[in-house]
Structure 1
């Protein structure tokens, strides 16, 4: 009896104590950056056992017995958020939260997120970009390791996707479509690409089958974001090829991102066979500022100045080519110089309006102004010889038989100014089972082009023109583009989602009203580690200035839009293996193009046959596997198979290979740590691309009777972060002022392979034509230091 009374007394005391504790009830809505509800977000009271999950509509409820506590919101693939709650008495609170995507989360394991299900794109691990050994240093280097992307030039930021040309790729920064220079004819003239990887918050890439929300081009979409940073930070990078400085400032209702970059790759260009004085100087400055004007309205500004000058005073060249049984040598002496320069000014203002928690509207206004100039005045005298076996005659070395003596002359004085203004209104609204998106866009482009160029070759006393007659043209062109889209992402069942979209566009050049329907169906089995996708759609690319200008600089103002019918089927599969979480992806695709503008490639310059049309097809399959084989270091491997052919109307040649018909691409980006010294890391980048078709010069008819050999390249880098978390001892001075201090030693083109980018065509005394390869860069050692400063208190 006494025991029962004692137990009752203890219970009463406990109940009294509990009653004395105030009970706080917190409810709210968790959304992503597009204000779309996020289900299955974990909400936890730090230091207590209380936790909850958001429902399908993103709503949650959680209780706390303390008046002051911290709530943590986290979901795989998103940055966790901590919010301090302080309330004097018991009651109800409403706390809405927005989570932003985490670029450092492995995309290999994020396929289980429903937010990724209706997206035919790859999330790029931007955290590893700085470690990738790349001679260009541009963000696009990582794209060349992705499925569907072809590789054949380490100096260029341009890329080909699933048989498409460089002009068929869309690039967005903060939903702003980026305009790029068009006069570049050699990869060595390219400087800094628009994207500053140090300012990125996320990046996604689609090699095809992309949504209706994206624009009207045939091949791919690169969608990057300069978003709100986690914290304030300053990063300094100094290397043999240039330097950069970036800073991120975070405030409660605003943030600022700023970046300065400088590039001078003289050392890399000096490894080429053309010897001379290289003076490449490229600079870039970018500023992003966002201010929250009210809880529902914010304003974002993006400004950029990108400029570059490439100057070359060539002196000499010696190239050996041919076979083991027959080796040829070309010796060239040069006179003259080449100067290429460009400047791009860009600005954009975005107004973000959130009238409801489930609705967001953006008004984007952007302006691009680009000036490009080419000045080339180079003459050369050459001696072409055939090498014979080594003669032991006074140590004179290999004998040589004269095959031809001649010269060639190249002149160009070109100037192109292009301006683009666009205004776009777009919105997204999420309902119970679907997300509806829409957009309206107007763009006005203006071109002012002056062309004056010619090339002359004198082979063995016979004067021959290469590239056609003298080109003299002055062109002025204005084009207005109007486009709109609607898109609905609908949940058919717990495992199946359907996305339907339609784009409509019109331009006053071709005067066509174009309709482009698109579909994406995704199915995720109950196992939650697989996603199957099927896509189909019509993609139509309206004519632009470059595609309507022919070899002579004349404009085909009657050109119609290019059109492609695309279909694909793919799968993502996440599994555990090799001691880590891996993701295997594969996709098969087919594209039928009933209206194409054929073109020929000259280095990285696209030369359109503007008055011709063609029909063609492209089909292939991509395979990739990747994961965190070593903690915090992502590695991935991919294999791409493809065939691309076309039939040019009325040329009687039948089906021919397209210039981008690269049948096989393989890439591997592997990272590792030294077992006994984990602060030391190795970064290996391997690329292989099979041969590319090319035709002989002096012909306005497209041919594919020659080829550029396979592209093979290995770049390797070694790094040490003196402040790595795995370091047993950290230098006191560095630890006091810096959060990271990493030194990189890189070897570009480790095996010193001679990769061919184009050909110089010459004839000998017997009127036999030779294709003399123009090689890319050789082996080169690079050093760079990346320092991240600690935040000032």
Structure 2
């Protein structure tokens, strides 16, 4: 009996010895850069089911079941910290941690940064850009999910904001204003945007009510920075639509950023109705170099080369349109080709001088030279047939009734050369509760344009030709712009801030002195989770080459600046809900424009009625909510409601819809985890934009009695990061050389919806005009791989 008890005791002791492991108690405090305690910080042991949260004093306690483990500290709005622990034996360990703010995520859900209280802009989560499924692959894809932005073309990087057109948006890169090409008429011709997402350090977007430091346009501001990186690194991206390589190098007294990009979206373009040989090729190279010459003086250089060629040899087209009871099919056979190319070369040098801690002065000099050419020589023979209901069904019998045959011819041989030079001196200085800003700027633009184009349509094969008149002109234009601004941001009280600014602008084209006062008032109640803003101001846009050129290529040198009186009221509110921290934002606005240059939209080409003048108004409201609905993955939803109208001259029809009058816009970008694994993720991008007004070319050019149907699109992506911090097992080879290795599988236009971007207008035997929709891209699968190399020493 004694032997049996002794054996049982030894067996129990053995099992206990097998299960017993060293137990380490880790305690500490988590603070921010100001050494203030941070609450609700997640402390997790990677590879183990152990996690904890810090309390109001920033303290935490967590237990580890091994002597070697990795602790991860994470809080939305702050950069995560990983600490590797090696401890000889069980016991207690004290580990204090300091987290630094992440400018990419902080403003998504938190309202604590007083320096942004007087900024009527939204911080963009640039860390999430690589995961967003987008056929264009350009940075601007994320803008189309922002409040106030309208979207109806996935191939284009252009965007409309609160009823404005593409020309009314300001884009700055390191305080350098960037312009878009002029001749591009279709989204498929667009290549790589100027902004390289891999090199960004921050990005902010304002849909209106922006401050006086920004330039003289009517609608919006996108302000992006290529700044000093946190560490040296290299990122390689490769996919079916192109490839890119970026490098960031830290130096003792400066840094260097370099990026190469290549884009070829042949597969995406091949999903359109027009079948043929698509040969797009777009390349881009950027270099940013900054060197500190002394503790008070540094120099920054930005260089850019952006070029692209789009070649199309069309073969055929088949498009069906109409209703369920009456379906018409268009068949077209083509001959000829289209070749478009552009090149932009330029750069900027910025001197940054800080003579005193409270004073910063910048001197920015930039020069860009652009060449744009389009050569189109295409003729098509078309057949219009009305299908019986049975014929519409695949594989079913039925008949077709001929509605007519005809042909059309399009020719263009255009070349535009432009040069832009600017020099700007600006400063910011702080005095007690005041931040005083000022700036002086000179800009010179030179255009040399040769237009030679015409189009003819043989209506239904009976020699009824119609189309626009032939255009053959040569234009030369030089414009000088002089501008200045002053601005004061003043702390009225502990909870209220006021910003007053004034811009002055003079240009040699309209010879107008334009004064634009602007005001922004912000109030932050106690509790630090709300901000109320009210803005009012005058926004004036001086004429430029595009707006003074009419349909026939003639220039209106007497055109005056466009002017808009804007006011808005909004609120940001941060709260806890759905188990996470959320941020709700809303803003209502009204814009009255007493001087507008009316225009018509044709795909992405803006055609101004340069000799006309209009007045109009726009009003609406934007709503958005976002946060970490799933831990560490930021999602957001937004809704925009708007109406934009105008009256051209003394048109007896009164106020009509503007071409950008898109009443409802909704977007959702949602991210989640799959298979209960933190390394598998899904990224869903949903866009909806209600119908847009348009007029037939044979009717009065002021009418808005036709429309482009609502834009509906869903893109979805799936990703797997083999080196995710939370991965239980990491491939040894990848872990040795790379810090991240993420594979993406994307489905563009998941529901294969036919979205219309414009119309082809043809007539039948009875001289009845048809609007044949030009559809955008169909469903397409894409694969891409993003590799981040280990930090280079």
Matched, 1:230 2:230: yes
Show structure 1 runs of 5+ residues with no match.
Answer: 1-39, 46-73, 82-98
Secondary structure, aligned partner of 1:230: coil
Q: State the Cα distance separating 1:630 from its structure 2 match.
A: 1.4
Correspondences of 1:43-82 after superposition (within 5 Å): 43=35
Q: How far apart in 2 are the matches of 1:78 and 1:488?
A: 30
Q: Deviations over 1:162-198 (max 9, x none)?
A: 0000000000000000122111000000000000000
- Displacement of 1:629 in angstroms is 1.2
5 Å matches for 1:582-601?
A: 582-601=582-601
Once the 2 structures are TM-superposed, how far is the Cα of residue 223 of structure 1 from its aligned partner?
Answer: 0.1
Q: Which residue in the other structure is 2:534 paired with?
A: 534
What is the rounded CA distance, in whole Å, between the counterparts of 1:396 and 1:728 in structure 2? 55
Shift, 1:603, TM fit: 0.6
Q: Secondary structure at the residue paired with 2:111?
A: helix
Distance 1:391 1:596, change over 3 A: closer
1:119-172: CA deviation from partner (whole Å, max 9, x where unpaired):
000000000000000000000000000000001000000000000000000000
Instruction: Classify 1:792/1:113 alpha carbon distance in 2 versus 1 (closer, same or farther; 3 Å).
Output: closer
Name the structure 2 match of 1:42: 34
Q: How far did residue 398 of structure 1 move?
A: 3.0
Call closer, same or farther: CA 1:225–1:467 in 2, change over 3 Å: farther
SS in 2 for 1:390: helix
Find out whether 1:282 has 2:282 as its counterpart. yes
Distance 2:571 2:324 in 1: 46
Question: Do the aligned partners of residues 693 and 458 (structure 1) sit closer, same or farther apart at CA in structure 2, a change above 3 Å counting?
Answer: same
User: What residue is the counterpart of 1:30 in the other structure?
Assistant: none
The question of whether the paired residues in 2 share the 8 Å contact of 1:420 and 1:446 is answered with: yes
Deviation of 1:41 after TM superposition, in Å, equals: 5.5
Map residues 530-679 of structure 1 onto 2, 5 A cutoff.
530-679=530-679
Task: Tell me the matched-pair count.
Answer: 709
**Taking structure 1 as reference, are residues 101 and 544 closer, same or farther at Cα in structure 2, changes over 3 Å only?**
farther
Distance (Å, rounded) in 2 between the aligned partners of 1:100 and 1:176: 28
CA drift at 1:253: 0.4
Q: Corresponding residue for 1:687?
A: 687
Does the 8 Å contact 2:326/2:389 carry over to 1?
no
SS in 2 for 1:397: coil
More deviation, 671-680/345-354: 671-680
1:309 counterpart residue number? 309
CA distance in 1, matches of 2:36, 2:760: 67
Alignment correspondent of 1:19: none
* 1:360 equivalenced with 2:360 (yes/no): yes
1:363-413, CA deviations, whole angstroms, 9 ceiling, x for partnerless residues? 000011110000000000000010014379xx8833110001000000000
Secondary structure in structure 1 of the residue aligned to 2:399: strand
Equivalent residues of 2:646, 2:657 under 8 A apart: yes
1:756-771 mapped onto 2 (5 Å cutoff): 756-771=756-771
**Deviation sequence 1:623-653 (CA, Å, 0-9, x none):** 0000011122110000000000000003322
Gaps of 5+ in 2: 1-31, 38-73, 82-98
Aligned mates of 2:759, 2:80 — CA distance in 1: 54
Report what 2:433 is aligned to: 433
CA distance in 1, matches of 2:148, 2:258: 32
Q: Contact (CA 8 Å) 1:759, 1:774: kept in 2 or not? A: yes
Taking structure 2 as the reference length, what is the TM-score of the superposition? 0.87
**Are the aligned partners of 2:760 and 2:771 in contact in 1 as well (CA < 8 Å)?**
yes
Determine helix, strand or coil for the equivalent of 1:733: helix
- Structure 2 matches for 1:332-411, cutoff 5 A? 332-390=332-390, 397-411=397-411
Corresponding residue for 2:28? none
Kept after mapping to 2: 8 A contact 1:42/1:75: no
Q: Partner of 2:205 in structure 1? A: 205
**Closer, same or farther in 2 for the Cα pair 1:773/1:730, shift >3 Å?**
same
Q: Distance in 2 between matches of 1:614 and 1:450?
A: 29
Report the secondary structure of 1:727's partner residue: coil
Aligned in 2, Cα 1:364/1:718: closer, same or farther, shift over 3 Å?
same
Per the TM alignment, residue 699 of structure 1 is displaced from its structure 2 partner at its CA by 5.8
TM-score by length of 1: 0.87
Which segment drifts farther, 277-286 or 697-706? 697-706
Task: State the alpha-carbon separation in 1 of the partners of residues 108 and 227 from structure 2.
Answer: 22
Question: Hey, what's the Cα distance between the residues in 1 that align with 2:138 and 2:554?
Answer: 34
Q: Distance in 1 between matches of 2:700 and 2:377?
A: 24
Shift in alpha-carbon separation, 1:768–1:743, aligned structure 2, 3 A: same
Measure the CA separation in 2 of the matches of 1:785 and 1:500.
Answer: 48
Change (3 A) 1:479 1:78: farther
1:784 maps to what in 2?
784
Structure 2 equivalent of residue 247 of structure 1: 247
Give the Cα separation in 2 of the matches to 1:791 and 1:525: 43
The question of whether the paired residues in 2 share the 8 Å contact of 1:662 and 1:689 is answered with yes
CA-to-partner distance for each residue in 1:64-111, whole Å, 9 max, x for gaps?
xxxxxxxxxx99967799xxxxxxxxxxxxxxxxx9973333323332
CA contact (8 A) 1:236 1:246 kept: yes
- Structure 1 residue matching 2:730: 3-state secondary structure: coil
Cα RMSD (Å): 2.0
- TM-superposed CA distance for 1:674, in Å, is 1.7
Who is 1:86 aligned against?
none
Deviation by residue 1:637-680 (Cα, 9 ceiling, x = unmatched)? 00000000000003322111000000000000000112522210
Paired residues of 1:467 and 1:697 also in contact (CA < 8 A): no
What CA distance in whole angstroms lies between the structure 1 residues aligned with 2:175 and 2:463? 52
Correspondence for 2:9: none
Partners of 2:101 and 2:471 lie apart in 1 by 51
| Structure 1 residue matching 2:745: 3-state secondary structure | strand
What is the CA–CA distance in structure 1 between the aligned matches of 2:122 and 2:466, rounded to whole Å?
43
Using the alignment, how far apart are the partners of 1:77 and 1:350 within structure 2? 30
C-alpha change, 1:427 and 1:699, in structure 2 (3 Å) is farther
The equivalent of 1:754 in structure 2 is 754
> Displacement, 1:462?
4.2
1:175 maps to which residue?
A: 175
Match of 1:24 in 2: none
Mapping for residues 516-527 of structure 1, pairs under 5 Å: 516-527=516-527
- 8 Å Cα contact 1:288-1:300 kept in structure 2: yes
Q: Distance in 2 between matches of 1:483 and 1:100?
A: 38
Say if 2:471 is the partner of 1:479. no
**Which residue in the other structure is 1:774 paired with?**
774
Task: After superposing the two structures, state which structure 1 stretch, 103-112 or 171-180, moved more.
Answer: 103-112
C-alpha contact (below 8 Å) 1:444/1:481 kept by paired residues: yes
1:510 alignment partner, SS class: coil
1:539·1:566 contact (CA, 8 Å) conserved in 2? yes
Q: Which moved more, 1:467-476 or 1:439-448?
A: 467-476
Equivalent residue of 1:42, what SS?
A: coil
Matches within 5 A, 1:103-252: 103-252=103-252
For residues 675 and 535 of structure 2, the distance between their equivalents in structure 1, rounded to whole angstroms, comes to 44
| SS at structure 2 position matched to 1:111 | coil
